[in-house]
Structure 1
Amino acid sequence: MNAVEQYARAQIVTDADAPQAADREAVPVTLCYDAEDDPRTVTVRMPGPGKREWPVPRALLERGLRTPVGSGGVQVWPCGRVQTVVEFHSAQGVSVVQFETKALTRFLRRTYAAAAATEPVPH
């Protein structure tokens, strides 16, 4: 199986689907990748009611660790040296989530390893 699932602690800065708390506690966000299903996309699942998940191009997430980038309803940019912000736009509004960059980097490394494991071996 060439799927990767990793929990990452993240701060939800703004959330279109939930009331804002005065203190921003870290919440568990699930990062998912399935090399056999879609090798170019990762999924970010947020806690809360309903199906709260967004597909994100893996290359976009990786580029966003170094420079501001966006595609469709997803924007990613570095925030200082140790944080990365991911912004999701939907019909309900905008959700902004702040991750530790090293957690995203670790997840991306694992996705590349899983993708390499699915590639056919040359004869």
Structure 2
Amino acid sequence: MSTVIEQAVQARLVASDPRMETVAATLRYDREDPFAVSMAFPPRATLEGVEVSWAFARELLAEGVEGPAGVGDVRLRPYGYDRTVVEFHAPEGVAMVHVRTSELRSFLEASQHLVPSGREHQYVDWDGDLAQILEEHP
């Protein structure tokens, strides 16, 4: 059984231009990092012209499809019938995308099959992580 789930989603970039551009983004969940998900954007969708990936809590994603969630760099909230707004806050500004809520729910459901909510701690390699920290900071 694979320990990684990747799902392509259509993200509509929200900009001051009334036309919203749609880009393919990728949601990723890895059982080896059970508390986190990531959302990657292709180079053409970023200011830097390189792929950009944002990592945030899986719990934040689950909360954000139900109601407003997040106070930090990543914030989510439902929008309309079947959209979720995902905001990415950085020193350069705020990027907002609309994603179909059904796609986010499908991704969350698949991640639950790998690691059920509330059991993430059972998949963390505590000894390996501690050894890595001690190697980096002798």
Relative to the length of structure 2, the TM-score reads: 0.75
Aligned residues: 113
Could you tell me which residue of structure 1 aligns to residue 36 of structure 2? 41
Could you tell me which residue of structure 2 aligns to residue 8 of structure 1? 9
SS of equivalent residue, structure 2 residue 114: helix
Question: By how many angstroms is 1:25 displaced?
Answer: 2.8
Could you tell me which residue of structure 1 aligns to residue 76 of structure 2? 76
Residues 1:59 and 2:59 are matched in the alignment: yes
SS of equivalent residue, structure 1 residue 102: helix
Question: By how many angstroms is 1:41 displaced?
Answer: 0.5
Tell me, which stretches of 5 or more residues in structure 2 are unaligned? 44-48, 124-138
Greater share of residues in helix: 2
SS of equivalent residue, structure 1 residue 70: coil
Q: Is the 8 A contact 1:64 1:76 kept in 2?
A: yes
Q: Is the 8 A contact 1:46 1:53 kept in 2?
A: yes
Q: Which amino acid aligns with 2:37?
A: V
Greater share of residues in strand: 1
Q: Is the 8 A contact 1:42 1:55 kept in 2?
A: yes
Could you tell me which residue of structure 2 aligns to residue 17 of structure 1? none
Q: Which amino acid aligns with 2:14?
A: V
Q: Is the 8 A contact 1:60 1:71 kept in 2?
A: no
Higher gyration radius (CA)? 2
Residues 1:29 and 2:34 are matched in the alignment: no
Could you tell me which residue of structure 2 aligns to residue 89 of structure 1? 89
Could you tell me which residue of structure 2 aligns to residue 112 of structure 1? 112
CA RMSD of aligned residues (A): 1.9
Q: CA 1:92–1:34 in structure 2 vs 1: closer, same or farther (change >3 Å)?
A: same
Q: Which amino acid aligns with 1:72?
A: G
SS of equivalent residue, structure 2 residue 20: coil
Question: By how many angstroms is 1:47 displaced?
Answer: 1.6
Q: Which amino acid aligns with 1:111?
A: S
The share of aligned pairs that are identical, in percent, is 35
